[in-house]
């Protein structure tokens, strides 16, 4: 079964939303998002961070609009950004209106927390006039008081109920261009909440584990939460939340998609976990290869094995393989043994092979 057949079999069917030219849902490829961590009024710094995230493969970027200065900076940021901008709004409907006027591609808010229905109508009317969708962002840490009292504590049903309350507000004003997120720091709760929304609606879903944490823990939590749902065919766009640079979030998000066959790979380096049989400096070799190949965008699989037991077989299964031992190595290309090289030649040889590699059409 090829990748396209696999995706068509398992992906949940949803309506489609257009975010600045990036399609979300409706069978479109799953997009990767991040959020800037600069002060929004620092236009140059914010745009620079957006550019580095874009280079890492980010599709959509969210920017906080939390005060007057941030709102005034949005037009310049939108103008200079190479990818669609999402305005992150809390409570203040004026900031939402200013972001829409500035040309953002999407607004993230909860319609129920920006005031009266007149204010909600004003925001939704402005968004609809410009074809700008709304992400209804529900979070287990900020559920409405009446919903918390009803359920006792944040539950999957409580998150679902909150999301549907906000969808109902949008429906009341004939606004249907919405995306939903029901995030939590609790991975199990997040998974169950998204499953409920997926089972009961056709609305596209933005997946994420909120406040996932530092890179190591956050990567694990996000990979389990987001990966579990994607493997079930649930999810249309993702954001990995890390206490780290946005580029790290993008890299982890892209790798989650690649691991499930939901995105094409660039260079993939597979290395053995090492053991007492290791007879070459595999750690240095792998690190240097990662650095030298980081900017190359080819779907090529490289296997670097430092073991004479499993090495030859596993190296021969990759596009480019190395089986090393006792200071020397055998180079494999598409399963064919090519030649013997010295340990000192491994990195340069692999880089040369990658540059020559022609992916199958």
Residues 7-48 have pLDDT tens digits of 434 789 999 999 999 999 999 999 999 999 999 999 999 999
- Please write the tens of the pLDDT for every residue from 65-86: 999 999 999 999 999 999 999 9
Question: Tokens standing for 49?
Answer: 């961070």
Element (H or E) spanning 183, and its range? Answer: strand 178-183
CA 236, CA 213: separation in Å to the nearest integer? 23
Per the rule left: phi > 0, alpha: psi between -120 and 50, beta: everything else, 213 is left
Task: Compute the distance between CA of residue 12 and CA of residue 6 in angstroms, rounded to an integer.
Answer: 12
Does 278 score more than 90 pLDDT?
no
What pLDDT, on a 0 to 100 scale, did the predictor assign at position 118?
A: 84
Strands lying side by side in the sheet with 267-271: 267-271, 300-305, 320-325, 328-333, 336-342
User: 85 pairs with which residues across the strands?
Assistant: 61
Tell which wins on pLDDT, 316 or 109.
109
> What's the pLDDT at 266?
75
Query: In the structure, what pLDDT confidence band is assigned to residue 312 with cuts at 50, 70 and 90?
Result: low
- Whether 313 shows a pLDDT value over 80: the answer reads no
The pLDDT value given to residue 316: 72
pLDDT per residue over 124-141, tens digit each?
999 999 999 999 999 888
**CATH topology (fold) of 3-259:** TIM Barrel (3.20.20)
Pair of tokens at residue 106: 């999407």
Q: Spell out the domain ranges in the chain.
A: 3-259, 267-356
Q: pLDDT value at position 340?
A: 92
Q: What is the pLDDT of residue 112?
A: 64
Task: With beta carbons less than 8 A apart as the criterion, state whether 259 and 227 touch.
Answer: yes
**Residue 6: pLDDT over 50:** no
pLDDT digits (tens, 9 = 90+) for 207-265: 999 876 788 999 999 999 999 999 999 999 999 999 999 999 999 999 999 889 888 76
CA 84 to CA 108: how far, in whole Å?
13
Mean pLDDT, rounded, of the chain? 89
Residue 8 is predicted with a pLDDT of: 39
DSSP letter for 13, please: P
Exposure pattern of 182-220 as b/e (b: 16+ CB <10 Å)?
bbbbbbebbbbbbbbbbeebebbbbbbbbebbebeebbe
Residue 156 — pLDDT band, cuts 50, 70, 90? very high
Mean per-residue pLDDT for 176-197?
96
Q: What is the mean pLDDT of residues 272-283?
A: 76
Superfamily the domain 267-356 falls into:
Sulfite Reductase Hemoprotein, domain 1 (3.30.413.10)
Q: What is the pLDDT of residue 113?
A: 72
Task: Using the predicted structure, report yes or no on whether residue 315 has a pLDDT greater than 80.
Answer: no
Query: Which of 102-111, 179-188, 249-258, 278-287 has the least mean pLDDT?
Result: 278-287
Closest CA to 162 of 150, 177, 175: 150
């Amino acid at each position: 079964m090829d990748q396209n057949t696999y995706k068509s079999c398992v992906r949940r069917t949803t309506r489609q939303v257009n975010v600045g030219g990036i399609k979300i849902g409706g069978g479109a490829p799953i997009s990767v998002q991040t959020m800037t961590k600069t002060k929004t009024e620092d236009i140059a710094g914010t745009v620079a961070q957006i550019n580095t995230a874009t280079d890492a493969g980010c599709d959509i970027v969210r920017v906080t609009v939390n005060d007057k200065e941030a709102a005034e900076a949005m037009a310049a940021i939108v103008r200079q950004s190479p990818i669609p901008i999402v305005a992150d709004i809390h409570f203040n409907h004026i900031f939402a209106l200013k972001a829409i006027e500035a040309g953002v591609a999407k607004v993230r808010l909860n319609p129920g927390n920006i005031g009266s229905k007149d204010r909600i109508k004003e925001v939704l009317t402005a968004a609809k006039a410009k074809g700008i969708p709304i992400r209804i962002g529900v979070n287990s840490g900020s559920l409405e008081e009446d919903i918390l009292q009803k359920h006792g504590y944040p539950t999957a049903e409580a998150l679902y109920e909150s999301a549907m309350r906000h969808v109902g507000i949008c429906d009341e004003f004939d606004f249907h261009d919405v995306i939903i997120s029901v995030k939590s720091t609790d991975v199990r709760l997040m998974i169950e909440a998204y499953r409920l929304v997926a089972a009961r609606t056709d609305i596209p879903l933005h997946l994420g584990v909120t406040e996932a944490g530092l890179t190591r823990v956050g990567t694990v939590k996000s990979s389990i939460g987001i990966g579990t749902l994607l493997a079930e065919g649930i999810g249309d766009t993702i954001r990995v939340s890390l206490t780290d640079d946005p580029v790290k979030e993008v890299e982890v998000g892209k790798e989650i998609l690649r691991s499930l066959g939901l995105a094409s790979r660039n260079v993939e380096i597979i290395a053995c976990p090492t053991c007492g049989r290791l007879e070459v400096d595999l750690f240095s070799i792998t690190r240097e290869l990662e650095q030298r190949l980081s900017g190359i965008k080819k779907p090529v699989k490289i296997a670097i094995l430092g073991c004479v037991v499993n090495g030859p077989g596993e190296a021969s299964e990759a596009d480019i393989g190395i089986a090393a031992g006792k200071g020397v190595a055998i180079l494999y290309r598409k399963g064919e043994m090519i030649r013997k090289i010295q340990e000192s030649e491994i990195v340069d040889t692999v880089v040369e092979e990658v540059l020559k590699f022609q992916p199958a059409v």
